[in-house]
């Protein structure tokens, strides 16, 4: 069978399975069973798939994932995450479009907690959107920020999906975590700047907060008490990696331990909270690892069928310029974002993309940051971005779908500008890792 026929058959079956709603892990498992018998020699091929799958999830570089997830689960179930958001909310009282600004901050926190941008959008859409609409916010200024946080959450550590990308793409995990800090902060600043500018230029979009503003310690105290320890944990994790005191796994473990200690000091860590956090972490980690098992075997089948080498050779033989190949990668990620989640996107594209990165000798940290931004932006792109449909499911039926598209459009444009900025000025992604890690 010619390589392109194998490629079409394998991806065609996988696409159909995903479109009919089969979970990604089970879709990969089903196609792997068929592929093992067709391309790997039946029962012997199945045994090879099992051995490689076991090796894929016993990779030590994946161990930061459960620790980062545990940090978020402990903060969520203990209530410290909500107290931190409330502290920030109280501190910025009086700021134009305050609830929209809080949505950006809360979204970043909950993204780390849930491990899924889609789940975060659904949660914030259910919690914050009704409040903003009740206070008279324009639907576009209310819905846009809730969806827009998808462009930020994977860039600012701790990020389990960044660890997964580094492991699967063989990119320095500590370098990639640090490389996302500056672009993530810049993107968040762009979003916040747009929100405040819109509210100042058009005050009718976000009516002022009711009630008298609080002052003094009553205003700033909750921020100092509830937010400062979490910032210190973030600084400790980054500092431990950048100074070479700890590996990414050890830094993640330190962060998880520090989070548990902080919750204990605040007297919010109970046995029930700890069990809920551990169970939640095990569940999310299990889902991710199950998908990795399926996708690792899928990559092996692609290789044995000749599809991977055939596709890579075709691109390399076409003598396309690097910018054209990179543009094609970006378009593919934007299209995939309409149909599948972030983990599935990584596992579908990396077997083909990484040989291109090596062929053109691109800086892997720079390319990794561009990849992360593209992957999240794909979930926002009208008309089929998955986050748009998620918002449609939680927004009132009186809000037309075109308003959801209009709400997210400025943030898609800013995300595209961020991609262009990182492409044009690579030090945005590579400067901080070079400074802290010498990479």
Q: What is the pLDDT of residues 425-436, one digit of tens each?
A: 999 999 999 988
At 418, the pLDDT band (50, 70, 90 cuts) reads: very high
First to last CA, the chain: 43
Which residues are within 8 A (CB) of 310 and not within 5 positions of it... i.e. 6 or more apart?
A: 2, 3, 4, 7
**Section 341-369 average pLDDT:** 87
Range ranked top by mean pLDDT from 39-53, 82-96, 245-259: 245-259
State the pLDDT confidence band at 71, using cuts at 50, 70 and 90: confident
SS3 call for 364: helix
pLDDT score, position 151: 61
Predicted local distance difference test score (pLDDT) of residue 53: 75
* pLDDT of residue 114 exceeding 70: no
User: Does residue 31 sit within a domain?
Assistant: no
Is residue 248 in a domain?
Answer: yes
Question: Where is average pLDDT lowest: 21-30, 113-122, 206-215?
Answer: 113-122
pLDDT at 1: 67
What is the reported pLDDT for 316?
74
Q: Which two tokens stand for residue 438?
A: 């010498």
When pLDDT is averaged across residues 400-426 and rounded to a whole number, the result is 92
Q: Decide if 19 is inside a domain.
A: no
The DSSP symbol for 63 reads T
Q: How confident is the model at residue 355 (pLDDT cuts 50, 70, 90)?
A: confident
pLDDT, residue 376, reads 82
Q: How confident is the model at residue 111 (pLDDT cuts 50, 70, 90)?
A: low
Span of 29-33, 86-90, 337-341 with lowest mean pLDDT: 337-341
Predicted pLDDT at 403: 92
Give the mean model confidence (pLDDT) for residues 396-402. 87
Question: Of 262-266, 317-321, 383-387, where does mean pLDDT reach its minimum?
Answer: 383-387
Residue 420's domain comprises 61-284+319-437
**Residue 292: inside a domain:** no
- The answer to whether residue 226 is domain-embedded is yes
pLDDT cut 90: percent of the chain above it = 19
Q: What pLDDT is recorded for position 307?
A: 75
Is the confidence at residue 373, as pLDDT, over 80? yes
Residue 319 has pLDDT above 90, yes or no: no
- Tell me if 332 is assigned to some domain: yes
Could you tell me if residue 43 is inside a domain? no
Q: What does each C-alpha distance from 265 to 78, 82, 275, 434 come to in angstroms? A: 12, 17, 18, 36
Share of the chain above pLDDT 70, in %: 92
- Please tell me the predicted confidence (pLDDT) of residue 368: 94
Q: pLDDT-derived band of residue 109, with 50, 70 and 90 as boundaries?
A: low
Convert 376-408 to b/e letters by CB count within 10 Å (16 or more is b). bbbbbbeeebbbbbbbeebbeeebeeebbbebb
pLDDT band at 407 (very low <50, low <70, confident <90, very high): very high
Burial class for 275, CB neighbours closer than 10 Å (0-12, 13-18, 19+): exposed
Question: Residue 156 gets which letter from DSSP?
Answer: S
Do the domain assignments include residue 132? yes
Position 144 scores a pLDDT of: 93
**Which of the listed ranges 63-72, 244-253, 412-421 does the model predict with the highest average pLDDT?**
412-421
**Cβ-contact 146, 391 below 8 angstroms:** yes
Q: Please compute the mean of the pLDDT values over residues 392-401 and round it to a whole number.
A: 86
Q: Are 284 and 115 in contact (CB under 8 A)?
A: yes
Domains identified in the chain, total number: 1
pLDDT for 212 equals 60
Residue 310, pLDDT score: 81
């Amino acid at each position: 069978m010619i390589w392109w026929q194998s490629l079409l058959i394998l991806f065609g079956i996988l696409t159909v399975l995903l479109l009919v709603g089969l979970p990604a892990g089970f879709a990969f498992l089903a196609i792997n069973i068929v592929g093992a018998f067709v391309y790997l020699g039946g029962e012997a091929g199945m045994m090879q798939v099992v051995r490689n799958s076991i090796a894929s999830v016993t990779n030590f570089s994946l161990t930061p994932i459960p620790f980062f997830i545990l940090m978020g689960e402990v903060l969520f179930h203990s209530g410290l995450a909500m107290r931190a958001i409330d502290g920030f909310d109280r501190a910025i009282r009086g700021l134009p479009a305050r609830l929209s600004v809080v949505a950006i901050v809360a979204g970043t926190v909950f993204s780390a907690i849930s491990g899924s941008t889609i789940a975060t959008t659904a949660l914030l859409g259910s919690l914050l959107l009704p409040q903003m609409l009740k206070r008279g916010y324009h639907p576009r200024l209310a819905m846009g920020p809730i969806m827009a946080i998808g462009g930020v959450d994977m860039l600012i550590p701790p990020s389990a999906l960044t660890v997964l990308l580094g492991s699967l793409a063989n990119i320095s995990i500590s370098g990639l975590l640090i490389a996302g800090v500056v672009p993530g902060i810049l993107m968040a600043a762009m979003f916040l700047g747009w929100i405040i500018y819109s509210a100042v230029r058009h005050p009718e979009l976000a009516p002022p907060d009711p009630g008298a503003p609080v002052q003094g310690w009553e205003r700033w105290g909750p921020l100092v008490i509830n937010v400062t320890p979490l910032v210190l944990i973030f600084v400790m994790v980054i500092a431990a990696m950048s100074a070479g005191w700890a590996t990414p796994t050890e830094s993640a473990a330190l962060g998880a331990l520090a989070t548990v200690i902080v919750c204990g000091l605040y007297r919010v860590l109970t046995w029930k909270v700890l069990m809920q956090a551990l169970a939640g972490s095990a569940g999310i980690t299990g889902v991710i690892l199950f998908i990795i098992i399926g996708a690792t075997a899928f990559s092996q089948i692609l290789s044995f069928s000749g599809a991977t080498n055939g596709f890579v050779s075709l691109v390399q033989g076409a003598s396309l310029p690097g910018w054209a190949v990179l543009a094609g990668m970006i378009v593919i990620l934007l299209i995939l974002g309409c149909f599948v989640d972030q983990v599935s996107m990584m596992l579908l594209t990396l077997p083909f993309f990484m040989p291109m990165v090596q062929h053109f000798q691109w800086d892997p940290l720079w390319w990794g940051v561009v990849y992360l931004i593209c992957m999240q932006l794909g979930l926002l792109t009208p008309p089929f971005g998955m986050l748009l449909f998620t918002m449609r499911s939680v927004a009132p039926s009186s809000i037309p779908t075109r308003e959801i598209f209009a709400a997210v459009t400025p943030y898609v444009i800013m995300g595209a500008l961020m991609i262009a900025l990182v492409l044009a000025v690579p030090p945005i992604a590579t400067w901080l890792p070079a400074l802290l890690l010498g990479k």
